[in-house]
């Protein structure tokens, strides 16, 4: 589990938090024993976005030159294991982007996604416009981004921005439950399925079919594929080992 731990500022991220988060993700990627990741925040909120107090002296040129500020978002998306966001309170600005980069989101009933950028005179960043447009379409994405609309959990569920809505205070428990279930699954097949889903947003159908064919070839060589077939024939639950 990865926990954003700056509750005094709603877990707003600064460079130190972002660097630590990114380094921890990369360490987790190299650990074969880690087969699912849950991202959450300490206290009342998931993440209130960037800590703008740390950008007081930042020039426009300096902001543009800092291309690495988005690495942590991309790293979540490219992780080979499922990543689940457990959201209480607000996931705002880049905090919303972090939640959207996760593969599945669990939101408390009283939580919100909040693309707050235009309310602060800023264009969206951290991938929020890409995630929203691909999930809900350009019209709805435009409406929410220009209005800086606070999206409550029930509306997020209806729009398919989240997959689970639970009672307040229960988001982490539900996310951990999902992670524990997926940790028992065929991790190689999961990693390839995750790559297929994200890649499908940017490829043609023939390219997607070829990617699926290549992925199936890779899973055919695994122990888990043999175990899955054997378990089916023996009418028992499979016992996957991630190899």
For the chain, the three-class secondary structure string (H helix, E strand, C coil) is CEEECCHHHCCCECHHHHHHHHHHHHHHHCCCCCCCEEEEECCCCCECCECHHHHCCCCHHHHHHCHHHHHHHHHHHHCCCCEEEEECCEEECHHHHHHHHCCEEEEECCCEEECCHHHHCCCCCCCHHHHHHHHHCHHHHHHHHHHCCCEEHHHHHHCCCCCEEECCCCHHHHHHHHHHHHCCCCHHHHHHHHHHHHHCCCCCHHHHHHHHHHHHHHHHCCHHHHHHHHHHHCCCCCCCCCC
Looking at residues 17-44, what average pLDDT do you find? 93
**Sorting pLDDT into bands at 50, 70 and 90, what band is 68?**
low
Looking at residues 230-234, what average pLDDT do you find? 89
Please determine, for residue 67, whether its predicted confidence score (pLDDT) is greater than 60: no
**Sorting pLDDT into bands at 50, 70 and 90, what band is 83?**
very high
What is this structure's pTM?
Answer: 0.88
| Weakest-pLDDT range from 53-67, 95-109, 142-156 | 53-67
Please determine, for residue 56, whether its predicted confidence score (pLDDT) is greater than 60: no
**Sorting pLDDT into bands at 50, 70 and 90, what band is 129?**
very high
Looking at residues 194-201, what average pLDDT do you find? 90
Share of the chain above pLDDT 90, in %: 66
| Weakest-pLDDT range from 74-88, 96-110, 167-181, 189-203 | 189-203
Complete domains list, the chain, with CATH: 2-182 (3.90.226.10), 187-233 (1.10.12)
Looking at residues 66-84, what average pLDDT do you find? 85
pLDDT at 79: 92
- Mean pLDDT computed over every residue of the chain: 90
pLDDT at 188: 92
Looking at residues 173-183, what average pLDDT do you find? 96
Please determine, for residue 38, whether its predicted confidence score (pLDDT) is greater than 90: yes
């Amino acid at each position: 589990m990865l926990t954003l731990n700056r509750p005094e500022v709603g877990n707003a991220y600064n460079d130190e938090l972002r660097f630590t988060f990114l380094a921890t993700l990369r360490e987790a990627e190299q650990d074969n024993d880690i087969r699912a990741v849950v991202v959450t925040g300490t206290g009342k909120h998931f993440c209130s976005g960037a800590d703008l107090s740390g950008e007081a002296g930042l020039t426009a040129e300096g902001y543009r030159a800092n291309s690495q500020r988005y690495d942590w978002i991309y790293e979540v998306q490219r992780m080979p294991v499922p990543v689940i966001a457990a959201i209480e309170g607000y996931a705002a600005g880049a905090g919303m982007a972090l939640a959207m980069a996760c593969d599945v989101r669990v939101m408390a009933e009283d939580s919100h996604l909040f693309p707050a950028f235009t309310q602060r005179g800023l264009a969206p960043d951290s991938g929020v416009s890409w995630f929203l447009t691909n999930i809900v379409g350009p019209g709805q994405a435009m409406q929410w981004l220009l209005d800086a609309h606070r999206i409550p959990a029930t509306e997020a569920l209806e729009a398919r921005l989240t997959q689970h809505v639970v009672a307040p205070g229960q988001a982490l428990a539900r996310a951990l439950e999902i992670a524990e279930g997926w940790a028992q699954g065929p991790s190689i097949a999961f990693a390839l399925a995750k790559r297929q889903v994200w890649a499908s947003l940017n490829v043609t159908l023939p390219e997607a079919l070829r990617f699926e064919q290549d992925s199936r070839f890779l899973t055919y060589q695994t122990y888990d594929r043999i175990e899955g077939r054997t378990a089916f024939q023996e009418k028992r639950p499979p016992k996957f080992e991630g190899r």
